[in-house]
């Protein structure tokens, strides 16, 4: 599987989701303007290469909170919606300012669950995206937090990992990138288990993999690892490959698009045929500990010293 990701260079229509932890400062929750500007420059380069790009962006709550002068993160759903309502327009203004430096048009697209589930609404939403992309406009997507009777009937999407997967399905994207606060998928929570192994490639999402995701969930942002697995199901079933990567270094997007082996790659149904999940070998530290365990097997007390 060494050269397996080379084909990612050929991806044409790409959905990129940037999470709250990617576009805001963790200590304040306010928008990270420096990183957002770099992100826009990366997108412009992708457009210059002939790619079509759709952005699913978090950050509206943080921008709204800053504008409202709130010192603490919103504690209730109503406060979050208020911050999002204030922040959404301001977040778009920031995006537009950075994109305008390259004379690039953007469009705000607010979706509801109805836009995805209702066949007629879905058709109209897809038509809008196609029209925007045909005119070289970059759609910037978020969920519409305004509650309506229709949304009460259809439910809410809830977080942007799932929203990004729905968008990838809706527009027929061939690649979905989730930029988050984690390197990718591990066999367990790396903060609690030193013996975890990194999962480079997922060809099949089975029950054991879903159990791993539950153990490796993150508390940062809105969506944990379980939501990312659910997003992968939606995206790969729709024919898109998906990559989870750490957004701390925003230039990781370039590495992914250049076919580098970063993050966890979830293969679409088309590309998963004949492939197996690729899990990193045990770390040298873990191998040493495992070897020592074998040597002293049968003893009632085992002292592994500092190797654990």
Q: Which residues pair with 180 in a beta bridge?
A: 246
The 10 Å CB-count burial string (b at 16+, else e) for 2-38 is eebbeebeebebbbbbbbbbbbbeeeebebbeebbeb
Query: 223 a known binding residue?
Result: yes
Query: 257 a known binding residue?
Result: no
Query: 226 a known binding residue?
Result: yes
Query: 187 a known binding residue?
Result: no
Closest CA to 45 of 5, 106, 104: 104
The 10 Å CB-count burial string (b at 16+, else e) for 138-150 is bbbbbbbbeeeee
Query: 128 a known binding residue?
Result: no
- Contact between residue 112 and residue 143 where contact means Cβ atoms under 8 Å apart: yes
Closest CA to 28 of 55, 65, 1: 65
Query: 180 a known binding residue?
Result: yes
- Contact between residue 90 and residue 67 where contact means Cβ atoms under 8 Å apart: yes
Cα–Cα distance, 28 to 199 (Å, whole number): 32
Query: 225 a known binding residue?
Result: yes
Give the SS3 label for residue 48: helix
Cα–Cα distance, 222 to 57 (Å, whole number): 13
Closest CA to 176 of 103, 73, 281, 253: 253
Query: 222 a known binding residue?
Result: yes
| Burial class of residue 233 (count of CB atoms within 10 Å of its CB; 0-12, 13-18, 19+) | middle
| Residues contacting residue 95 through CB under 8 Å, at least 6 positions apart | 36, 40, 55, 57, 106, 140
Query: 227 a known binding residue?
Result: yes
Summarize the annotated binding site for ATP as residue ranges. 17, 180-181, 222-228
Summarize the annotated binding site as residue ranges. 17, 58, 145, 160, 180-181, 222-228
Summarize the annotated binding site for substrate as residue ranges. 58, 145, 160
């Amino acid at each position: 599987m060494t050269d397996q990701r080379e084909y990612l260079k050929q991806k044409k229509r790409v959905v990129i989701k940037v999470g709250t932890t990617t576009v805001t400062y963790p200590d304040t929750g306010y928008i990270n303007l420096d990183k957002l500007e770099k992100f826009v420059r990366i997108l412009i380069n992708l457009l210059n290469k002939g790619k079509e790009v759709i952005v699913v962006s978090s950050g509206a709550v943080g921008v709204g909170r800053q504008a409202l002068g709130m010192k603490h993160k919103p504690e209730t759903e109503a406060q979050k919606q208020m911050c999002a309502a204030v922040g959404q327009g301001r977040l778009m203004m920031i995006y537009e300012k950075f994109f305008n430096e390259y004379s690039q048009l953007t469009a705000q697209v607010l979706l509801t669950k109805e836009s995805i589930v209702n066949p007629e609404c879905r058709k109209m939403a897809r038509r809008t995206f196609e029209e925007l992309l045909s005119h070289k406009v970059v759609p910037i997507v978020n969920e519409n937090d305004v509650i309506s009777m229709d949304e009460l009937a259809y439910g809410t999407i809830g977080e942007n990992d799932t929203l990004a997967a729905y968008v990838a399905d809706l527009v027929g994207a061939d690649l979905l990138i989730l930029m988050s606060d984690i390197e990718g998928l591990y066999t367990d929570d790396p903060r609690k288990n030193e013996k975890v192994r990194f999962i480079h490639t997922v060809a099949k999402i089975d029950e054991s993999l879903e159990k791993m995701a539950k153990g490796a969930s993150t508390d940062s942002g809105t969506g944990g690892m379980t939501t990312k697995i659910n997003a992968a199901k939606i995206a790969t079933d729709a024919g898109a490959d998906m990559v989870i990567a750490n957004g701390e270094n925003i230039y990781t997007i370039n590495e992914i698009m250049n076919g580098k082996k970063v993050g966890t790659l979830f293969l679409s149904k088309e590309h998963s045929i004949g492939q197996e999940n690729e899990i990193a070998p045990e770390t040298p530290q873990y191998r040493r500990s495992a070897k020592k365990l074998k040597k002293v097997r049968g003893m009632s007390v085992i002292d592994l010293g500092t190797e654990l």
